[in-house]
Amino acid sequence: MDTAFTHTTVLLYATVNALVNPDFYSKDSTIHLPLSGMRAKGVYVDGTFGRGGHSRYLLSQLAPDAQLFVFDKDPLAIEEAKQLQATDNRVQIIHGGFSTMKEALHARGIDQVQGILLDLGISSPQIDDARRGFSFMKEGPLDMRMDTTQGMTAQEWLETADVEQIKEVIKNYGEERFAFQIAKAIESRRQSNPLRTTLELAELVAATVRTREKGQHPATRTFQAIRIYLNDELEELSRTLSSILSLLAPEGRMAVISFHSLEDRRVKQFIAQAANPAAAFARMPLRESELPQPTLKNLGKVSASKEEVAANPRSRSAILRVAQRTEVTL
């Protein structure tokens, strides 16, 4: 396994605090400091193991008889998880996306858990490794798959998708206002010299986008959109959020870290609807006893501290949202 790429875990202390500390309060500045040792009991899930930063610290706060199930699509992440498992038998590894969480846990006799963590998007090692094709700053193959053992690469998709599909993907998943122009440029290019590398795509987009956002590469939104589409990221997130409710035990916590508005919007709306389901019936003549009861309690959101942003600029856009399962039966 290539260990040349490092990863600084975002919102490390706040996220684990949110999962295991019964006194967690999102506005408390001390949540950004190390915990003194919670020894939380039960079953926990890290749905996005990555390079294991959250999992390692979470394990330090779990009781000796607790369990931690870790999921990841990335084969390199699974190899990293195996190294952790070799030193801690509380770790159980599942090679798969977090949308398989409910079925995978049920197959292993787990019906309810005390905490679920999702750290959405891609990790620093995935970005920094040019061979993965996620970076528009480094020369590499147009891959962009989280799981390199299956699925269509970005190169294959760009060679076969029609202009309308490419436009819709870049517009909807990248919120790129020049989506049509980029799609037309890709179509024109592939007729003579199909795109093969990340820099070729980045240069094509840069030449097509007429105005640039301050501090952002013109290809940022296009690369984000293609990656999200190929890995089914938003749809997988929606499927997973709906399954979390049935997995969390009463007073169990969910902690989700998002890095852009498309992800965060879905998480925010999901928590809001579960925390206040009666809002959907506000105009209907129903008694209070007839209204649906909250299945989640919104515990708030957390952003990186100034100190963390200074030490790790990639944490600047991170938003952690936390919710707790109520006693209401689904």
Q: Are residues 30 and 114 in the same domain?
A: yes
pLDDT in tens, 162-190: 999 999 999 999 999 999 999 999 999 99
**Within-domain flag for 313:** yes
Class of residue 91 by CB neighbours under 10 A (exposed 0-12, middle 13-18, buried 19+): buried
Annotated binding site for S-adenosyl-L-methionine: 52-54, 72, 98, 119, 126
**Within-domain flag for 133:** no
pLDDT in tens, 70-118: 999 999 999 999 999 999 999 999 999 999 999 999 999 999 999 999 9
Look at strands 248-258 and 113-119 and give their pairing.
Answer: parallel
Q: Which domain holds residue 154?
A: 148-230
> What is the CATH classification number for the domain harbouring 165?
1.10.150.170
Q: Are residues 17 and 117 in the same domain?
A: yes
**Within-domain flag for 181:** yes
**Within-domain flag for 223:** yes
- Angstrom CA distances, 109 to 10, 24, 29, 105, 237, stand at 31, 29, 38, 6, 23
**Within-domain flag for 330:** no
Q: Are residues 226 and 212 in the same domain?
A: yes
Q: Are residues 269 and 293 in the same domain?
A: yes
- Angstrom CA distances, 140 to 77, 136, 197, 198, stand at 20, 9, 5, 5
Q: Is the pTM of this model over 0.85?
A: yes
Q: Are residues 250 and 194 in the same domain?
A: no
pLDDT in tens, 124-172: 788 888 899 999 998 999 999 999 999 999 999 999 999 999 999 999 9
**Within-domain flag for 137:** no
Annotated binding site: 52-54, 72, 98, 119, 126
Q: Are residues 69 and 207 in the same domain?
A: no
**Within-domain flag for 7:** no
Of 196, 214, 230, the residue at which a domain comes to its end is 230
Average pLDDT over residues 218-237: 95
Q: If DSSP codes are grouped into helix, strand and coil, which group holds residue 110?
A: coil
**pLDDT (0 to 100) of residue 61:** 97
Count of domains observed in the chain = 2
